[in-house]
Structure formats: C-alpha cells, structure tokens
Amino acid sequence: MCFSTPSAGSRRSTPVLSQAKAEALEALTDDRIGALPAGAVPGELVEQLEADGLLALERRGEARRELERRAVQRRIEWASRGVSQGEVLSAFAHHCRDELEDTEVVSEEPSRLVVRWRTEESLFELRNGFLGIDRLASERPTMLLGDIEPNMTALVQTFLDRPDLRSRLAVCDLGRLERLGTVRSSAFVYFEWFLRDAYGVKLLPAAAFTQGLIDRGVISLGMG
C-alpha cells in the first residue's frame, strides 16, 4: 500500500511510514535540528529510509509533505468525539482570529500556528515524534503536539534534567491530554481554555513529570 501514485513512472511512491520511521525521517530532514548525536537514530532505520529513497535531497520536499500530512491527520479519540490534530489546531486558529480580541494569528499552516498576544509570540507545531527537540527551543514559547507515549520516559527525564528547556518548550499529547514543560505563554493558556470550552477536555501535567519535579524539590504539593 502506498500513499501516493508515481507521476508518469518517473518517481517512486512514498512508502507507508511507521511511527519509528516517521519520527526518524522528521528529525533527519528538519534543518533546525541538524546533525543528531551518534546512535540517536538506529542504523537499521537510516538504512531503511535510504533504501526507500526518502533521504535523497531531490525527495526532501515530498518527505516533508508526507510527514506534515501524517501529523495533521493523527486521530484523537475523546469520550465526546473523535478529531484530528490538524482539526484542533485549525479550530483554535479560527478561535483566536474571530473570538479573542487580544490575540492575533501571525501565521497559519496545516501543522504550524503562530499566535501573538500583545508583544508575545507563541508557536504551536504538530510533530510525528520528538527526536532532537532541544534544537527546536527558542526565545519564542513553543508547544509541540504529538504522541508522547513511545518516548515518555526519555522525555520526562530530559525535561527534568533541563530547566532551560522546559521553561521555553512544552510537549503536549492531545490523545493522553497530558503535557510536559513549565513554559509561560498566554496563548497556551488560551489553548487550554479552548480545549475545555470547545471539546470538554482538560489538559493536565503528565503525572510522571510532576512527580519528578516534586522529588527534585522544584515544586511541592502545597504550591499553587
């Protein structure tokens, strides 16, 4: 099974991407991430992607389009309804544009949204995985949305070990309704309110992350 049909027989079709392949391909083709540490992507995965031709420069655009399609179409099943990540992001963009007087949609793409509140700009980005996410942190508050379950233990450890990272970057799983990070952003607060009001769901800190902060004395049960 393939996602696309070769045009005039001149190109190979895009193979179905497993979660592991999609995460690796995303990291390897994201110019912001650059070279990954040795062993970050298993050698056999790299070989498979090379065999599929997905790491070839001439297919870079095709690979990125397929990754975006996959991230946008990731299904989220809540008790009340089923939606895709892309639908939620698009609906939030409309909410910011049409219903919030103090926010501005700076840019909107199927998998990326930049929102400005006063002078603060925040980025929302749909991802297939979280390899090399420390390279995606910047001075602009950033929320990455995707499936955290395959990397939960490693993500929690990274966010506990890197106060600088968790203060600038948030990771959110709409399926699990959990988030990691301590970044402050008014747009993120609006997003959580939007999820509550539009879909009847509540986004909560991941229990393992919260417990880790407690164990390290960063927060206490009596805070807030």
Classify strands 204-205 and 112-117 as parallel, antiparallel or unpaired: unpaired
116, 184: one domain: yes
pLDDT band at 153 (very low <50, low <70, confident <90, very high): very high
- Residues 84, 65: one domain? no
**Mean pLDDT confidence for 114-136:** 96
Q: In the predicted model, what is the mean pLDDT of residues 59-64? A: 93
Do 88 and 186 fall within a single domain? Answer: yes
* 12 lies in some domain: no
Please check whether residue 6 lies inside any domain of the structure: no
At 12 the pLDDT is 57
Shared domain check, 82 and 56: no
Q: Is the pLDDT of residue 65 over 70?
A: yes
- Per-residue DSSP letters for the chain? -BSS--STTSSPPPBPPPHHHHHHHHHHH-TTT-SPPTTSS-HHHHHHHHHTTTTSGGGHHHHHHHHHHHHHT-EEE-SS-EEEHHHHHHHHHHHHHHH-TTEEEEEEETTEEEEEETTEEEEEEE-S--TTGGGG--SS-EEEES--GGGHHHHHHHHHH-HHHHTTEEEEETTTTEEE-----HHHHHHHHHIIIIIS---EE-HHHHHHHHHTTSS-TT--
Domain boundary among the residues 11, 43, 72 is at 72
**Whether residue 160 sits in one domain with residue 59:** no
Is residue 117 in a domain?
Answer: yes
223 within domain boundaries: no
- Both 59 and 83 in one domain: the answer is no
Residue range 5-20: mean pLDDT, rounded: 64
Determine the structural domain holding residue 66 and report its residue range.
19-72
- pLDDT at res. 196: 96
Residue 164 lies in a domain: yes
Q: Is 166's pLDDT higher than 80?
A: yes
Confirm whether 183 is domain-assigned: yes
Query: Are residues 105 and 61 part of one domain?
Result: no
User: Does residue 50 share a domain with residue 113?
Assistant: no
Asked whether residue 7 is assigned to any structural domain, the reply reads no
Total tally of structural domains belonging to the chain: 2
Q: Which of 36, 53, 72 is the last residue of a domain?
A: 72
The residues, any chain, with a CB within 8 Å of residue 7's CB and separated by 6 or more, are: none
pLDDT band at 19 (very low <50, low <70, confident <90, very high): very high
Same domain, 36 and 90: no
Verify that 124 and 47 share a domain, yes or no. no
Pairing of strands 178-180, 169-173: antiparallel
Give the pTM: 0.90
Single out the residue in 72, 104, 138 at which a domain terminates: 72
